[in-house]
Structure 1
């Protein structure tokens, strides 16, 4: 009996079971078909315009399904985690922040909001975890010559990172499967690190998010029952990736034996490299063209791949492979001095992500 209980409470069993349950909940309970039907009935659809890749109406409340599968599965596994009252309060504040971001995204899909209002609400949501949970980046470990940050600088910078990642993920949600696939890769990377460090809560969170996203992908890539993540989905997924990333940077170094924990910030940049690189490149291009950095256009890397003749799945696979390649390169160079490691990762990242812009590819269009 004790051996069975030991297996049930073991981290490998809980990790695999939680991911499978999240996927089953998303695909076998008619959750997304119901959301799709409601969206069509109430005309809550992604309307095609000159900024959209598609020309047909598609339901865009996929974020609701993602939130339901993620939050319910996480709550179902809470009794297995042997949490303290403090840890439970942290989970509740994290879920509260996702609820705020979910409704912000849904409202923006229905009634377009100004960028200023969206940023303010995002700051309020992420402040709940940065201040109440103390989830923050406190030490740069010598990156760019910066060591430990003062408390208020740490809070301000952490809020900035949250908002940056949230909006970066939101911006790459432009073609079928891309945002979900990149987020699965990122969560898998974080999850492996948490698993190796025996962090039960964060390992399960990563696994549940992976299962939830895989369930969503089944419908996002479907020809007959397609649904988009929408702003509600991309905002909460971006938030959860930033949450995992900052928690990853705060893993106890004593629990890390398979990589240089002093360079964890570089590995974090590699894991989230595609959405961050695409956001930075698009903002720079828009400012050079004297446009608002917040105005949507067709200047993302995935748009370039579509113009070269790739379909949505091929473009997604290309960018997923590029991101994975950069993560592998970073892992094998992680023992370099931190600033040299940053130069290596940024250099390889520029090569990988700007490859589609080489004129030679026009010949194969």
Structure 2
């Protein structure tokens, strides 16, 4: 009898209860995991040591990504049997690869080359075996359908770009986690509109896993960082949501977002992409150094130099990104080229005051830490 009920069960018929359960489960597992992470970190001295470019002055546990990962594992293994099992298992496999790479980097330091290879492997397996890829540009630049090989390469590029974008912005309390929270909320909305039960379940579960982490990440007493473990996992998930959303919108011509999916995806990850492209330009063109060489030229560092607190920095960045997404939703039915132009111009304008103040070609490389920074 149970098997018959499960065979005909459709999460979309009970979506409210289904998503609430997934959220609560992820939240509970994440919440329950952090006390153990604190104890192990303190007992084994697994702490992030402050450096010359750090925005904190005390030794802090940096294994917050473990709690996020475990909560998502529990949700996927518990709910996955009634969803798109193949995609979720491959997604879990990719997350596991990045989990161990990130964990090793947080504990022992891993070379950028090895991290890059691991990211490629995790993304490539998901692309090849699920055929979830960006198949075209929706007429942007006059390109509709891409050759298969180029589609795979471009999708890989999107994965690598977004994974590393979230890794690079993880420099201020709550910033990477809050932007990931917003991204998951935005994708929950668009996947709800497209009735993609598997993706909306994972997006809502990710929100549940991030909330306990953010409470601690913003805390002054029991602070914890997500580390590379967490930033790579959430970057990978957001990248997958981007690719899945664009891919499904392109396949289903009757989709609500058929004419706007790429622009909406860009709007959702606008700040991480903007900061990453900016920092690569500064490092490669201005300073002529490795794009992976750490410095204090990120936009969040510019906010701190202006005297903003960590909370104010995160709040301003996230609110602006939300406004960009809302704008993209409002103009989703006009010509896609005009959509893209408006989003890029307005988004750049909203963040432009930071560029103007710091001076794009007069970047401060040895600025002193603001007094409020711990």
Q: TM-score, normalised by structure 2?
A: 0.89
Q: Does 1:32 align with 2:30?
A: no
Residue number in structure 2 paired with 1:340: 338
**Which residue, out of 125, 138, 141, partners 1:141?**
138
C-alpha displacement of 1:356: 2.5
Q: Structure 1 residues 46 and 237 mapped into 2: Cα distance closer, same or farther (>3 Å)? A: same
Residue number in structure 2 paired with 1:281: 278
Residue number in structure 1 paired with 2:365: none
CA distances 1:278-310 after superposition (whole Å, capped 9, x unpaired)? 000011011212121110111111111111111
CA distances 1:172-205 after superposition (whole Å, capped 9, x unpaired)? 1101111010001111111111111111111101
CA contact (8 A) 1:197 1:255 kept: no
**Which residue, out of 17, 22, 36, partners 1:13?**
17
C-alpha displacement of 1:111: 2.2
C-alpha displacement of 1:52: 1.0
Q: Does 1:107 align with 2:109?
A: no
C-alpha displacement of 1:6: 8.4
Q: Structure 1 residues 6 and 341 mapped into 2: Cα distance closer, same or farther (>3 Å)? A: closer
How many Å separate the matches in 2 of 1:68 and 1:304? 34
How many Å separate the matches in 2 of 1:9 and 1:146? 38
How many Å separate the matches in 1 of 2:97 and 2:10? 37
CA contact (8 A) 1:33 1:225 kept: no
C-alpha displacement of 1:254: 5.3
C-alpha displacement of 1:349: 1.4
Residue number in structure 2 paired with 1:117: 114
How many Å separate the matches in 2 of 1:122 and 1:250? 20
CA contact (8 A) 2:76 2:88 kept: no
**Which residue, out of 22, 26, 46, partners 1:22?**
26
**Which residue, out of 61, 64, 69, partners 1:62?**
64
C-alpha displacement of 1:129: 0.2
CA contact (8 A) 1:194 1:203 kept: yes
How many Å separate the matches in 2 of 1:6 and 1:187? 22
Q: Does 1:175 align with 2:172?
A: yes
Range 115-124 or range 316-325, more displaced: 115-124
C-alpha displacement of 1:314: 0.6
Q: TM-score, normalised by structure 1?
A: 0.91
Range 352-361 or range 117-126, more displaced: 352-361
Unaligned runs of 5+ in 2: 360-369
- How many residue pairs get aligned? The number is 350
Q: Structure 1 residues 162 and 359 mapped into 2: Cα distance closer, same or farther (>3 Å)? A: closer
Residue number in structure 1 paired with 2:255: 256
Q: Does 1:164 align with 2:168?
A: no
CA contact (8 A) 1:22 1:215 kept: no
Q: How well do the aligned residues superpose, as a CA RMSD in angstroms?
A: 2.0
C-alpha displacement of 1:17: 2.2
